[in-house]
Amino acid sequence: MKCFMEYLPEKLLELGIQPKFRIKQLYNWVYRKYVDDFEKMSNIPKDLRKKLKKEFYINPLELINHEIASDGTEKFLFKLNDNHTIETVLIKMKDDRVENGKKKEAKYTVCVSTQVGCKVGCAFCLTAKGGFVRNLSAGEIVAQVWFMKKFKNFDENKALNVVFMGMGEPLDNYNNLVKAIKIIAHTNGLNIAPRRQTVSTSGIAPKIKKLGEENLGVNLAISLHAVDDKLREQLIPLNKAYNIQSVIEAIREFPIDKRKKVMFEYLVIKDVNDNLDSAKKLVKLLNGIPSKVNLIYFNPYPGSPFKRPDEETMKKFQRYLLDRGITCTIRQSKGIDISAACGQLREKELKENNG
């Protein structure tokens, strides 16, 4: 059987679902009303429902664990049809509030996985410890966003931010990533505009360039974490194939909305990359690029050789960048009182199953 969430409308037409308005109706049931059973689609003819039920399934995810942090961050562990597991995180960025006398709804970001495991092998990443298993299909990627809207009973028009920053290297699963971006953005589907979608990569330079040529309108985030090749190769082995300079050159060619900036994710590790000399090199490296640096506290996990930096060091690093005209934020750790590090919930489940 095929996963319905794999397909854009034009592909469903090619598969023989006719006429065209039926596909719009199906999309509406799945992506707007969050229905995962063809039998419940009352305006679809019975014969077509029967056919669809034989050929397709809708939801490829089974929720097997769910943790909620004190700050509202929610972490989900899903089992796939082949029994492998992935994680998705729902982050509450802002609570319900009143601004200028108007009520504003809470803002959420969904952090989505693109692979089971990861090939990149970053030294600080727990996901890498389990190795690479396989790519996620486009349907498995899309379903993570769909599940969040259904689980939280969000209105169909509720806008979420989607970041491809979960388990896996998104650009290593390029074709399925691009297909998922298009399905998530489709006006008859989840209708989450590309400007609300951010692709995070550890730096596969040729595919950064290729993604730019697709002109999808998505945002770009680079997991940089080091400012010289020697240290970056220790932290991110992929740097041996695509060094910092090749990544920077690819970024310079990436089409950026004039209102947007390239996000540089910089995981700050105590006594590794938290010194002001690194900050100085970072300023030089980003010269001429419309950029925003996001400093991230390293989130410790059992067995990690790295430590979390102190607040004062983070603020000094931030201040150095701000004083030199670079937008710089410190990401406040979310979900630190649950299995917060990427891959930690999955690792816990694997250990329990393997005794």
Positions annotated as catalytic residues are 87, 342
Question: Known binder of ligand: residue 125?
Answer: yes
Residue type, 272: V
Extract the tokens encoding 124: 């600080």
Q: What is the largest CA-CA distance in the chain?
A: 68
Question: Known binder of ligand: residue 225?
Answer: yes
Question: Known binder of ligand: residue 186?
Answer: no
Question: Known binder of ligand: residue 299?
Answer: yes
The strand ranges marked E within the chain are 2-3, 56-57, 62-68, 74-79, 85-94, 97-99, 102-104, 107-111, 115-117, 132-135, 161-164, 197-201, 219-223, 262-268, 291-297, 327-331
Question: Known binder of ligand: residue 224?
Answer: yes
Q: Which residues contact 45 (CB under 8 A, 6 or more apart)?
A: none
Alpha-carbon gap, residue 109 to 118, rounded angstroms: 22
Alpha-carbon gap, residue 146 to 185, rounded angstroms: 12
Question: Known binder of ligand: residue 168?
Answer: yes
Alpha-carbon gap, residue 268 to 299, rounded angstroms: 10
Alpha-carbon gap, residue 352 to 350, rounded angstroms: 5
Extract the tokens encoding 5: 């969430």
Q: What are the binding residues for [4Fe-4S] cluster?
A: 118, 122, 125
Q: What are the binding residues?
A: 118, 122, 125, 168-169, 200, 223-225, 299
Q: What are the binding residues for S-adenosyl-L-methionine?
A: 168-169, 200, 223-225, 299
